[in-house]
Amino acid sequence: MTDMIVKRVEVGIMQTNCYILKSPDSRDAIVIDPGDDLTLIQDALHRADAVCRLILLTHGHFDHILAVGDLRGYNIPVAIHENDAHLLTERDMFSAIINYDPRPFDAPEYTFSKEGEYSIAGFDFYVIPTPGHTKGSVCYVFGGMMFTGDTLFKNSIGRTDFGGNEQELMRSIRALRDLPGDYEIFPGHDAPSTLSDERRNNPYMKRA
């Protein structure tokens, strides 16, 4: 699989990383986790000469989905793990605690239920379910790039007190650690990393 061109846009009050993945051979693009600030996302798409054809969500917390409703107004399909799909249509625990009420959205066009290769809207990618931060958290793999949402961060991991499970998260971290080879890691917040660096330096991954 040819690696896609990646642009990062930091959006919303939680400084969420929204990623634009553009095909090297066309204007077609994927938006991962449009967490807010539709105008910023549209500007980034314009600068990249890209047209969004698919929205992928690493999980359903409000800070990763707030611009979904506006972005999908352009008839763009949305995909998320089936265990987090309900978070698109109801207020999640995270937003309720900080008194932030996102608009409800329609049900997603696609849901994932298991690990494997998927092909949607002309894009091929691999989905790794990584429950723990939420029940339906996933990582997306495009060639040598992995988009980890709030499962794995540079030198850290996601929290589990907003609908998560610590034991499940540590199992997911262990599964990522034990993958063969190396990947560029693009997390849902903060700086990128590599899987090899996280194996060496991330205290949670070292003890998983």
The pLDDT confidence band at residue 160, using thresholds 50, 70 and 90, is confident
The whole-number pLDDT of residue 91 equals 62
State the Cα–Cα distance between residues 11 and 131, nearest whole angstrom: 24
Proportion of the chain above pLDDT 90, given as a percent: 72
Please say whether the beta carbons of 28 and 51 come within 8 A.
Answer: yes
DSSP letter string, the chain: -PPPEEEEEEETTTTEEEEEEE-TTSSEEEEE---S-HHHHHHHHHHTT-EEEEEE-S---GGGTTTHHHHGGGT--EEEEGGGGGGGSS--HHHHHTT--PPP-PPPSEEE-SSEEEEETTEEEEEEE-TTSSTT-EEEEETTEEEEETTEETTEE---TTT--HHHHHHHHHHHHTSSS--EEEESBS--EEHHHHHHH-HHHHH-
- Only one residue has tokens 């634009």, namely 20
Length of the chain: 208
Tell me the mean pLDDT in the region 46-61: 95
pLDDT digits (tens, 9 = 90+) for 169-183: 999 999 999 999 999
Does residue 97 have a pLDDT over 80? no
pTM: 0.93
The pair phi, psi for residue 134, each rounded to 5°, is: -135, 170
The pLDDT confidence band at residue 51, using thresholds 50, 70 and 90, is very high
Please provide the average confidence, as pLDDT, over all residues in the chain: 90
The pLDDT confidence band at residue 90, using thresholds 50, 70 and 90, is confident
Tell me the mean pLDDT in the region 131-137: 96
The pLDDT confidence band at residue 152, using thresholds 50, 70 and 90, is very high
Does residue 100 have a pLDDT over 70? no
pLDDT digits (tens, 9 = 90+) for 101-111: 555 567 899 99
- Work out whether strand 51-56 and strand 78-81 pair parallel, antiparallel, or are unpaired: parallel
Tell me the mean pLDDT in the region 40-58: 95
Tell me the mean pLDDT in the region 59-75: 86
Q: Which two tokens stand for residue 66?
A: 């707030």
DSSP letter string, 173-185: HHHHHTSSS--EE
The whole-number pLDDT of residue 1 equals 46
* Residue 117 or 92, more confident: 117
Domains of the chain: 5-207 (3.60.15.10)
